[in-house]
Amino acid sequence: MITKPEILTLLLTVVVGTAGAALAAIAGIPAPFLSGPALAVTMCGLFGLKLDIPKRVRDACFVLVGISMGTSVTPEIFHAAKSWPLSFVAVVVTVVLLLYCGYWLLHYVFRYDRTTAMLAASPGHLSYIISLSAETRSDLASISIIQSVRVLALTLSVPLIVEYFDLVSTDISAPAAAMNPVVLVVTFACALLLGMLFIRWRFPAALLLGGMVVSVATHITGFTAGAVPPWAIQPTYILIGCLIGLRFYNVSIGELKRAFIAGGVLTIVVVGIAGAIALTISNLTGVPLNAVMIAFAPGGLETMAAMAIMMHADATYVGSHHILRLLFLSFLMPAVLKRTSGPEDRDAGK
C-alpha cells in the first residue's frame, strides 16, 4: 500500500516532471515528455529536493508502455520480420563491441580498475549490473553514475539525432482510434498477471514484456483494437522521464565530476559505434533508419520503447532487439567478469 508521504512525494515529482515536459515542448526539444522530466528531475535531485516514484507506480508505467508497443503490431510486421535475423546477429556483435570499447576507454584512459571498468562499460541492464557490482570489489558509486549518465545522455541525444537527420516517420503505424477504457483496464490486468509470471521466471523487463505479449496477442487475433489513450500514455512517458532523473538523486557534485565526464565520453563513443552499425543494418535490411537507430542505442529498454512510440518508429522491432540485448548481457557479463576480475574480486564475491 502506498503511504501518504509517498503520495505527496509522488505528486511533487509529477509536478516537477510535468513542468520539465512543458518547458521542453515549448523549447522544441524532441520527445519532450521523456527528455524534459529527465532533465528537470536530475537538476532537482542534484540540489537535494526529495523526489521519488513508488515501485507500484513505476511497475504500472512499464506495463502500459508494453501494451502501447503491442498496439502497433499488424500481420504485415511478420512479413517484414523475415529480414530481422541479420539484425539480431548484429545486436549481439554490437553488444560485445560496445562492451570492450567502453572497457578499454574506462580502464586505460580514465584509469578505473578492470572490474569497475567492465561493469561500467556494460551497454545496458543497469539493475543487473548493480547486483553484479555488489559481489565484487568494484567502485559501485562510479558504476552507478557512469551507467546513469549513459541512460540520461541517450534519452536526450537519440531524439535529437533522429530529428536532426529528419528520420521521424510520418507513417504512424499505431491505430488512430483510442482503446476502450474498459478494454484497457482488462488488458492491463492480464498484462500485469503475465508480467508477474515473467518476474518469477527471471525474464528481463518482465512487466514491459508482459504488456507487450498480451497486447500483441489480443491485437493480432482481433480481440482488441486501438491505441492506448493519450490521457494514459502521456503521463506514463512523463513518469518514465522522471525515473531516469531519479538515478542521480542524493549524488554529490564531487562524486559526479570524474564519473560524469567518463560517462559522457563513453556515451559519445557508443553512440558513434552503434550509429554506424545501425546505418549499415538499415541499408542491408531495408528497415527504416529511425527504428534501427533506437533499437541499437544502448539505453534503457523501457525508455527506448517509449521513444520508439513517440518518434513513430517500429516499436515491435525496437522492443525485440532490446530484449535480446538484455538477455545476451545476462549471460555475457558473468563470463567476462570471471576473465577480468583479479583474485581479490573473486574472493569478495564468495
State the DSSP string of 221-287: HTS--SBPPHHHHHHHHHHHHHHHHHTTTT--HHHHHHHHHHHHHHHHHHHHHHHHHHHHHHHHH--
Please give the full DSSP string across 117-147, using - where no structure is assigned: HHHHH-SS-HHHHHHHHTTTTS-HHHHHHHH
The alpha carbon of 62 is separated from its chain's Cα centroid by a whole number of angstroms, namely 10
CB 292 within 8 A of CB 87: yes
Is 0.85 topped by the overall pTM? no
**Which residue has better confidence, 95 or 151?**
95
pLDDT tens digits for 183-225? 999 999 999 999 999 999 877 678 888 898 899 899 888 888 8
Give residue limits of the domains in the chain.
67-237+251-348
In the block, cell 517509449 appears at 306
Kindly indicate the confidence band of residue 123, based on its pLDDT and cuts at 50, 70 and 90: very high
Over residues 222-229, the mean pLDDT reads 86
User: Phi/psi zone of residue 231: left (φ > 0), alpha (ψ -120 to 50 degrees), beta?
Assistant: alpha
In the prediction, which pLDDT does 170 show? Answer: 46
In the prediction, which pLDDT does 172 show? Answer: 42
In the prediction, which pLDDT does 348 show? Answer: 37
Q: Which amino acid appears at position 58 of this protein? A: R
| CA distance linking residue 92 with residue 65, whole number of Å | 24
